[in-house]
Amino acid sequence: MGTAYANVIIDISHEKVDRPFCYAIPEQLSGLVVQGSCVEVPFGRGSRLRKGFVTELCSVPDYPEEKIRPIAGLIEGVQVESHLIRLAAWMKHQYGSTMITALQTVLPVKKKVAVREKKVICRKASAEELREALVICERKHYTARARLLAALLEDDTLPCELVTGKLHVAASTLRSLQEQGLIGVEGAGAYKERLKERTRETYQPPVLSHRQRQIVEEIGREYEDGVGGTYLIHGITGSGKTEVYLALMEKVVASGKAVIFLIPEIALTFQTVMRCRRRFGDRVSFLHSGLSMGERYEQCQRAKEGKIDVIIGPRSALFTPFRKLGMIIIDEEHEGAYKSETMPKYHAVETAGELARLHGAGLVLGSATPSLESYQAAVTGRYGLFTLTERLTGGSLPHVYIEDMRRELQKGNRSIFSHRLRELIADRLKKEEQILLFLNRRGYSGFVSCRSCGLVLKCPHCDVSLSLHGRDRMECHYCGYGMPKPTLCPDCGSKYLMGFKAGTEKIEEQFLREFEPEFGRIPILRMDADTTKTKHSHERILAEFGEEKARVLIGTQMIVKGHDFPNVTLVGILAADLSLAVNDYRAAERTFQLLTQAAGRAGRGSRPGEVVIQSYQPEHYSIRWAAAQDYGEFYREEMLYRRMAGYPPAAHMLTVQIFDSAESRGRELAAQIGEKIAPVAKELGVTVIGPAGGHIGKINDVFRFSLTLKHENKEPLIACKDEIEEWLSSCAKPEKAVQFDFNPMHTF
């Protein structure tokens, strides 16, 4: 008995991707109807013929057989949707989820957009006049105006949304420049015409270095030969990777195919946007979280109709429905943000690999600190490996000191600043150069505890402590619950309730206490979860620091990404090992990446930079190799550990996550799943650890349990996942109650 039935989705752009309907495959179409096929089926009362897509083939229908109608016909020709449906099916199989959820992830949702004409800002005066105005603005510290004028000197027309968004220029500023006759605001129609004439012909990209050209030629040759290979470009920040991507993109676009360029949202700066616009004019589109569903849908339509060649965006840009895809490029491929946190929990790098395979496209990955997964694939020959070792922006690599904070304590230094860091800070404050202080811990936040009984105040809905904000407010970072800090301990009634401030806030306080007596008022900017709550606040802080409105920027890992501050000549990394303390097999890798990136922030301009890494375990290899900027040695040691402990990429791992609002029911479900897979696991040689309570036992009143499965290969783990999914569907558990996470980024 073969596959006689097909599940067909009728309206794939429906908001909820409606459920599939079962149809019989008539004999004459047998073997021709496959997953992703576009078919005509009778639908509804009048049995009007409608177009639909086959999501699955099956031999046993889940519908009374006598009511099933046959497929009326097959629509020939490759449809964009076929690839996406096949990709969804692959994701469902690889990561676990229902087909509908997988389809919802990859298919664009139809939403009407209110048509509002896009505006552009254009230059109305000569370059000479603009330059004069710019000098005046700079002298008067009209920084927003100066920023806009400088940008207009490079490009005479800029999209309005870019100016008010990424450049942070207020409407009132625009009006006053308009009144001075320096700029104009026009409809986008005129702009498009001008852009067409102006770009590509007039823009001169930099002449590639010998090494850059080699890489472009080699990958380009394989592209032309239709090899469809995967490549890893390992190069420090500023070594010219983006120019390589852009040159490759031009090649692919010239051959009539499209490019998907993934980049972490935080790294999509104004400069990057402009670099792409200059090359691809209005044939490039940008995806970002600020777009509405309707705007996203419109972009997908434009891609489908062939109106754009290049899409740039975060991981979801992967699902842009291009008819002919030639290349996928993923910058900063090691970023955790490429892994989805909702079902199906897919990794964009792996999924890009499958999408590239479906299209016969090339895949180019780039990073200064590649993920162990990608580097392993490269050194074992599965990926082509290229390295770029020189900074093209000038500026030398910084000098790095490692300070042992245990020794500082022995010497009687109780400050959070080591002796060396304090000296260097004073030196930079004297020279009026900028300082970056980086606290290596995400979500390291304050808490409140009782000195009498030791109670730590916890969120009533989550298994985490409440953070102290300001003097007397406590908040939960997981669910948003907040309450005033009580005056008495709720347990023992003692009045000695102590608040410990969040790391960055504490550093700011200490910094001012130690340096203000000598240097007077020191302008400081702080970037952490508290100061970046509102939209664009993140970019605003970076922009202000870039304009040197502050001497010092203190922050968590948010400050180490993507931005160039040429006047920063000192980077202090406080508590470098804090990120090692977390119970997570990727802790050392993440520490190495963060320290390398943070160290790379110093000395980007003409003056040499210095970096001070403070640590309580300075002998740890992730710290030593980051200080030496030696990725190869780090990789070697870290792989030894992964091999020994059986962690990815040396082995495969699957965390089965169980969620329930009732603790006992959740625990029971976890135990049931454990029993259910025990025989299969035994047969396939899969190691099962647990069930156990989650690392955080409860979030938002939902209890968490998990099972961890390990095996050298992925297939046995997928088989266990299938077994669990089948059992779950037989007992009608809600889909979200049990989730799967393959090779997780974080401990559950």
Rank residues 104 and 237 by Cβ distance to ligand ADP and give the closer one: 237
Which residues, 6 or more positions from 318, have their beta carbon under 8 angstroms from its beta carbon?
260, 262, 328, 348, 351, 352, 355
Cis-peptide into 159, omega within 30 deg: no
- β 524-527/552-555 pair status: parallel
Site string for ligand ADP, 167-206 (x = CB under 6 A): ---------------------------------------x
Among 81, 155, 243, 403, binds ligand ADP (CB under 6 A): 243
- Give the integer Cα–Cα distance in Å for 327 and 348: 14
**From ligand ADP, Zn ion, none, interface partner of 491 (C-beta below 5 to 8 A by class):** Zn ion
Nearer to Zn ion, 494 or 687 (CB): 494
Nearer to ligand ADP, 393 or 494 (CB): 393
Closer CB to ligand ADP, 341 or 390, in the complex: 390
Of 112-120, 144-152, 235-243, 504-512, which part binds ligand ADP (CB under 6 A)?
Answer: 235-243
> Which SS3 state, helix, strand or coil, does residue 710 take?
strand
Which of 239, 531, 556, 591 contacts ligand ADP by CB under 6 A? 239
β-sheet bridge partners, residue 500: 447
Residue 316 touches which member of ligand ADP, Zn ion, none, C-beta under 5-8 Å by kind:
none
Residues forming beta bridges with residue 497, ordered by sequence position: 450
Q: Give the neighbor-by-neighbor strand order of the sheet with 473-475.
A: 467-469, 473-475, 482-484
Compute, in degrees rounded to 10, the torsion defined by CA atoms 511, 516, 520, 521: 40
- In this complex, which beta carbon is closest to ligand ADP, that of residue 561 or of residue 698? 561
Q: CA separation (Å) from 523 to 153, 514, 591? A: 30, 14, 29
Check residue 597 for interaction with ligand ADP (CB under 6 A). no
Helix (H, G, I), strand (E, B) or coil at 483: strand
Binding mask 393-422 toward ligand ADP (x if CB under 6 A, else -) reads: x-----------------------------
First-to-last CA distance in the chain? 43
379 binds, among ligand ADP, Zn ion, none (CB under 5 to 8 A by kind): none
CB of 452 to Zn ion, least distance (A): 5
Contact 8, 52 (CB under 8 A): yes
Per the CB < 8 A criterion, the answer to whether 657 and 739 are in contact is yes
Is the Cβ of residue 254 or residue 696 nearer to Zn ion in the bound state?
A: 696
237 binds, among ligand ADP, Zn ion, none (CB under 5 to 8 A by kind): ligand ADP
Q: Report the 3 state secondary structure along 534-545.
A: CCCHHHHHHHHH
Residue 708 binds which one of Zn ion, ligand ADP, none, with CB within 5 to 8 A depending on kind?
Answer: none
Listed residue (682, 679, 741, 686) closest to 709, CA to CA: 686
Site for Zn ion, residues 434 to 473, rule: CB under 5 A:
450, 452-453, 455, 459, 461-462
Binding mask 333-372 for ligand ADP (x = CB under 6 A): ----------------------------------------
Rounded distance between C-alpha atoms, residue 223 and residue 206, angstroms: 23
**Three-state DSSP class for 101?**
helix
**Which 498-527 positions form the footprint of ligand ADP (CB under 6 A)?**
none
- The Cα–Cα gap between 601 and 458 comes to 37
Give the DSSP letter string of 143-208.
HHHHHHHHHHHH-SEEEHHHHHTTT---HHHHHHHHHTTSEEEEEHHHHHHHHHHHTTTS--PPPP
- Nearer residue to ligand ADP within complex by CB, 191 or 245: 245
Minimum Å gap between C-beta 372 and ligand ADP is: 20
Minimum distance between the CB of residue 446 and Zn ion, rounded to whole angstroms?
15
| Partner whose footprint covers residue 509, from Zn ion, ligand ADP, none (CB < 5 to 8 Å by kind) | none
**Token pair belonging to 238:** 């500023």
Contacted by 212, from ligand ADP, Zn ion, none: CB < 5 to 8 Å by type: ligand ADP
Of 61, 74, 349, which Cα lies nearest the Cα of 232?
349
Measured distance CA(516)–CA(389) in Å, rounded: 40
Q: Which of 343, 476, 677, 686 binds Zn ion (CB under 5 A)?
A: 476
User: How far apart are alpha carbons 558 and 265 in whole angstroms?
Assistant: 12
- Residues 42-101 binding ligand ADP (CB under 6 A) are none
Q: Which of residues 201-230 bind ligand ADP (CB under 6 A)?
A: 206-209, 212
Pick from 173, 237, 376, 596: which binds ligand ADP (CB under 6 A)?
Answer: 237
**Which of the choices Zn ion, ligand ADP, none does residue 453 contact, using the CB cut-off of 5 to 8 A by kind?**
Zn ion
Is 479 one of the binding residues for Zn ion (CB under 5 A)?
A: yes
Identify the CA nearest to 356 among candidates 212, 221, 223: 223
> Nearer Cβ to ligand ADP, position 59 or 389?
389
Strands 119-123 and 473-475: unpaired
Query: In this structure, which amino acid lies at residue 322?
Result: F
* Closer to ligand ADP by Cβ: residue 147 or 428: 147
| Minimum CB–partner distance for residue 481 and Zn ion (Å) | 5
Q: Binding to Zn ion (CB under 5 A): which residues in 494-553?
A: 494
Strand segments, DSSP code E, in 616-679 are 652-660
- Taking the least distance from each CB to ligand ADP, the nearer of 273 and 466 is 273
**What does 479 bind: Zn ion, ligand ADP, none (CB cut-off 5 to 8 Å by kind)?**
Zn ion
Closer CB to ligand ADP, 394 or 482, in the complex? 394
Query: Which residue's CB is nearer to Zn ion, number 450 or number 677?
Result: 450
Does position 242 interact with ligand ADP (CB under 6 A)? The reply is yes
Report the nearest approach of ligand ADP to the CB of residue 565 (Å).
14
- Residue 1's binding partner out of Zn ion, ligand ADP, none, with CB under 5 to 8 Å set by partner kind: none
Residue 242 binds what, of ligand ADP, Zn ion, none (CB under 5 to 8 Å, by partner type)? ligand ADP
C-alpha 442: how far from chain center: 15
Cα 296 to Cα 293: distance, rounded to the nearest angstrom: 5
241 vs 334 by CB, closer to ligand ADP: 241
The three-state secondary structure class of 694 is strand
Residue range at the interface with Zn ion (CB under 5 A); choices 168-176, 262-270, 485-493, 557-565: 485-493
Q: Which of 611, 575, 580 minimizes the C-alpha distance to 593?
A: 580
d(CA 571, CA 435): 6
Strands (E) across 578-686 are located at: 610-615, 652-660
Q: Which residues bind Zn ion (CB under 5 A)?
A: 450, 452-453, 455, 459, 461-462, 476, 478-479, 481, 489, 491-492, 494
Q: Which residues bind ligand ADP (CB under 6 A)?
A: 206-209, 212, 235, 237-243, 392-393
